[in-house]
Structure 1
Amino acid sequence: MTAVTETAVKALVSTPTSVTLRPRYEGSNICTWIGFKHVNYLVEEAVLEHFRQAGLSARGLYETYGLGLDIVDLDTRILHAFHMDDEARAEVEPHTKDGDATLGFKVTVFVDRDGETHKAVTSKVRVSLRIDTYLEAAGEVPAEVAPYTVERLGADLAESPDVIPAEVKAAVETALAADDATEGARDKVLAALTDGQNAFGWKWRIGYPYCHFTERIQMSGYLRQMEEAKDLFVADRGISIKTLLDDYKWIPVVPHSKIRIVDEALMEEDLYTVYTVEDVFKDFTYTSRMDCYVVRDGKLLLVETGKIVHGYAVIENRRDWSLVTFDQRVLDALGGEVRQA
């Protein structure tokens, strides 16, 4: 790896890059269309390649300097659908300003189809370089990247976007203290977080495949959680993915998703995920918020917050789909009425 020098960092924060990518085969779950998670993986790979082209690869930063490259903010809009085997051109434009505590990038992904080039994806990405504390210290952080390093993810935020109401936090912590953090007390965490809300929540043990740099969940792990949240939510409301596929040939589509890491969640901790429907727009799309929490030292901590916009499309044939408006069955489910599948 190129040493962390003023020249390398200047390239990182000022020189645009481009890379050709293809979506992973795994991301084609219905016909040959690629889901939002794997579209975001393309964005992630473009940013990682930008670091490589500057001579500051994620591997080199960690092995040499003990710095973990963490995407902490990902805001992506999908303008055209991706298909299996599409070849995409991703352009990365640095967007880091003086005084920024994170490295910022704008990513635009283009795809050629039927002789035309389409702007398929636009994304805003922010990256922190997290100082590794799991192993022995790697030495002093190079001065050139010191402004973008943190000892804990979320430490760059002037104010944490804490969405936990005071009464909910108090109810959770009282239950945990009274029951000495037993399993029953932890079940009360979800009850307190979802009480009176148009929401679905579940507790999940953070497995190591969702983590990186030995100990913490990474951005792709939260993308997987967001996909799982949608799946579990609609199943709970009686309109599971397969149900609407079988009944209508409808599939969920995602024009916009965003995730912000506000604190760290660690391998094998229990992650409490709450998926809340916030609004339905003209019976055409709906916006949900996903918040993730951990309980640590008897305290409830927000570690992630994000939003995702969903619509539905009808499968017309093996190549084409078109957007549809929600029927009353779907509107009732999104509004909180549970129907049996």
Structure 2
Amino acid sequence: MNYLVEEAVLEHFRQAGLSSRRLFEDFGLGLDIVSIDTRILNAFHLDEVGIATVEPVVKDDDQLRFAVTIVKEGGITKDVTSKVTVALRKDTYIDPASVALPEDLARYAVDRIATAEPGDAVTPADTTALSLNRGTSVDPVLAHLTEGSNSFGWKWRIPYPYCHNNERLQMSGYLRQMEEVVDLFLADRGISIKTLLDDRKWIPVVPHSKIQFLDEALMEEDLYTIYTVEEIFKDFTYRSRMDTYVVRDGRLVQTSTGTITHGYAVIENRRDWKLVPFDQRVLDAFRGVNGR
């Protein structure tokens, strides 16, 4: 659903005559979604059609904000709602001094999406060789970031397919990163997605997620992703936080933060499913019982 929200925002810019391609090629501006906060109120099924509405949200600043709603074709109630912030980031990779911006775009153009203050000094290990494939969960930086918390950490080299505008990790890349770290966390706690599917026909469902950029993360940097269980609600949903970091000049720099809320649905047949409460095995895994 977040990808549909992203596409709706891109289409809004296209219809305004400012497609992401034109912004980049004619004005040297990268269109970046820098925060997204999405609630899924009703589930969509494969091949159902959603009608998206994108409305600008005007506040007394130079942020481009939008409210996005998606309604099933023929429906009357909102099925997805999202709050999105967009940055027009000046390209510095190719001849940045050659473009004169129109006044209405110059107001929203930024030299950098965000800049985080450097954090603790750390010494990373050389553990993201390509032979390690999906990265590693063993690294002194990860140990530092997860110490004393109910967290799982993952170190991963940012690949080209997750980036855009020649250099930066984009929002859709972070969304995939959030899905990936959840998958690895559940496997690390002994309740992998396939395990619960095979054992009891449970599948994760997500009613709410959000991600916000705090700094820029660059292609081929090592990204440290920390997934922390924050709260369990009445044994039906649990909320976790995702924080990502890079190491620059020997210091941690946080590049994003976000949260995701999960529940489980039991698959009753090929068409129907319903939410189920967590049992003790799943609760223990979320809470890190038995040393995990």
Q: Which runs of 5+ in 2 are unaligned?
A: 128-137
Aligned partner of 2:214 in structure 1 is 262
Aligned partner of 1:234 in structure 2 is 186
Deviations along 1:249-271, whole A, 9 cap, x unmatched? 00100000000011000000000
Q: Which runs of 5+ in 1 are unaligned?
A: 1-38
Aligned partner of 1:86 in structure 2 is 48
Secondary structure of 1:134's counterpart equals coil
1:140 partner amino acid: A
Contact 2:55 2:67 in 1 (8 A): yes
Following TM superposition, by how much is the alpha carbon of 1:53 offset from its aligned partner in structure 2, in angstroms? 0.7
1:119 partner amino acid: K
Secondary structure of 1:152's counterpart equals coil
Following TM superposition, by how much is the alpha carbon of 1:299 offset from its aligned partner in structure 2, in angstroms? 1.5
Whether 2:70 is the aligned partner of 1:109: answer: yes
Deviations along 1:82-121, whole A, 9 cap, x unmatched? 111111100001113232x320000000004xx6444210
Secondary structure of 1:268's counterpart equals coil
| 338 and 216 in structure 1: CA distance in 2 versus 1, 3 angstrom threshold | farther
Secondary structure of 1:144's counterpart equals helix
RMSD of equivalent CA atoms: 1.8
Contact 1:67 1:130 in 2 (8 A): yes
| 338 and 147 in structure 1: CA distance in 2 versus 1, 3 angstrom threshold | farther
- Alignment partner for residue 13 of structure 2, among 45, 51, 59? 51
TM-score normalised according to structure 1 size: 0.79
Aligned partner of 1:145 in structure 2 is 105
Percent of aligned positions that are identical: 65
Contact 2:125 2:140 in 1 (8 A): no
Aligned partner of 1:61 in structure 2 is 23
Deviations along 1:135-176, whole A, 9 cap, x unmatched? 102422222122221111115xxxx5x7x9xxxx44xx1x42
Deviations along 1:263-317, whole A, 9 cap, x unmatched? 0000000000000000001111000000000001211100000000000010011
Contact 1:80 1:118 in 2 (8 A): no
Aligned partner of 2:58 in structure 1 is 96
Whether 2:126 is the aligned partner of 1:183: answer: yes
Q: How far, CA to CA, are the matches of 2:83 and 2:75 in structure 1?
A: 25
Aligned partner of 1:278 in structure 2 is 230
Aligned partner of 2:35 in structure 1 is 73
| 338 and 229 in structure 1: CA distance in 2 versus 1, 3 angstrom threshold | farther
Secondary structure of 2:59's counterpart equals coil
Name the count of aligned residue pairs: 281
Equivalent residues in 2 for 1:166-177, closer than 5 Å: 169-170=119-120, 173=121, 175-176=122-123
Q: How far, CA to CA, are the matches of 2:105 and 2:286 in structure 1?
A: 45
